[in-house]
Structure formats: C-alpha cells, structure tokens
Amino acid sequence: MSRAFFYFSFAGVAVVLQTALLPVVLPAPYKPDMILILVVYLGLHEEPWRGGLLAYLLGCCYDGVAGGFPGLNGFLLLGIFLAVRGIVTRVNTESSPLLLLLVAAGTLLQTIQAAFALDFFSHVDGVWTLLFRQLPLQLLLNFLTAFVLLQLIVRIQKIFMPRRDLPGLRKLDSHYES
C-alpha cells in the first residue's frame, strides 16, 4: 500500500512538472516522460500482477492529462511493463546503466506501440512520421531525465532516509554507496 502510494505520489509530481513547469523551460512540445521511467522501474522491482495492475492504472490516470484517447496510455505502459518483466530474469537488475538502457528501449517501444494504436485503431493520418520525427530528441530527454532522477533520488535517500529501504533503489544503486 505504501509503495503504491509512493508510485502515485511520484506520478502526481511528474505530471505537474511535465504539464506546468517543464514547458516553460524546454522547447515546445518536448518534455521528458517520467511516467515511462517509473513504469520501467516498476518492471524491474515489482511482482508481475501487482506491477502490471499499477502500470495499467497509472496509464489510465495519465490519459486524463495526456492526449485524447482513453485507454491508450494504459495499453502503452502495460506493454512496456510486460516487456521489462520479460527480460528481467535474464539481466542484472542491480545495474544502474540497465535502467537507463531500458528507458531508452522503452521510449522506442512506446513510440512504436503508440503509432500502431493511433494508426490502426484511431486512424490518425501521418502519425508514424510525426512520432518518429520526435523520437531522437524524446529519447535523449528521457535518458537524461532518468540519469538525473537516479542521481537525485539516491542522494536524497542518503541524506534524509539513510536507513530507509526505498523499493529497489538501494539494491539498484549499491555502487553509489561509499
């Protein structure tokens, strides 16, 4: 329950940053997708059913502030969660660079899924060109944001909650410990 609260609180802060603060400092329409980063993190550290449900719920809530297609973000985030779960037993989840790599791969997968869903189900014309034109910068932004978040959260944890085990982070970033 407390972990779910943590995830939804993080999502709430991310949404406010993405909709109200970051558009002022970043060139329109680019903004990092912090919900995607959260779902990749969920994929690495949550149980399949619980994590899948959380990813889908986060996506459904995300529909309230992103796009005009109900259910689209739920489908996208569930797809990313399942893809991460699919490889999680074959990789070293304690590695920080892995999270960054998965965020980059997740961005690519999200773009393909979105273009597919919007083209074949909603018949949005020219959506492949539009989304893939934005992909390089979006990928870079998501990658940089994941890197900054990782650094920031680990440092905040070390300063304010040194003995508290934030879900997954201590294990994931053990090499930051001195």
In the complex, the residues that contact another protein under the rule CB under 8 A are 12, 15-16, 18-21, 23-24, 28-31, 33, 35, 48, 52, 56, 60-72, 74-75, 78-79, 82, 85-86, 114, 117-118, 121-122, 124-127, 130-131, 133-134, 138, 141
CB of 174 to another protein, least distance (A): 28
Closer to another protein by Cβ: residue 113 or 157: 113
Closer to another protein by Cβ: residue 22 or 166: 22
For 33, phi then psi, to 5°, come to -100, 90
Q: Residue written as tokens 């972990």?
A: 3
CB of 158 to another protein, least distance (A): 28
Say how many CA atoms lie within 13 Å of 25 toward its Cβ: 7
Closer to another protein by Cβ: residue 133 or 155: 133
For residues 119 and 128, is the Cβ–Cβ distance under 8 A?
yes
Question: Distance between CA 128 and CA 160 in Å, rounded?
Answer: 45
CB of 154 to another protein, least distance (A): 25
Question: Distance between CA 9 and CA 164 in Å, rounded?
Answer: 18
Closer to another protein by Cβ: residue 77 or 100: 77
CA torsion angle 26 154 7 118 (round to 10):
40
CB of 27 to another protein, least distance (A): 9
Q: Which two tokens stand for residue 176?
A: 């930051």
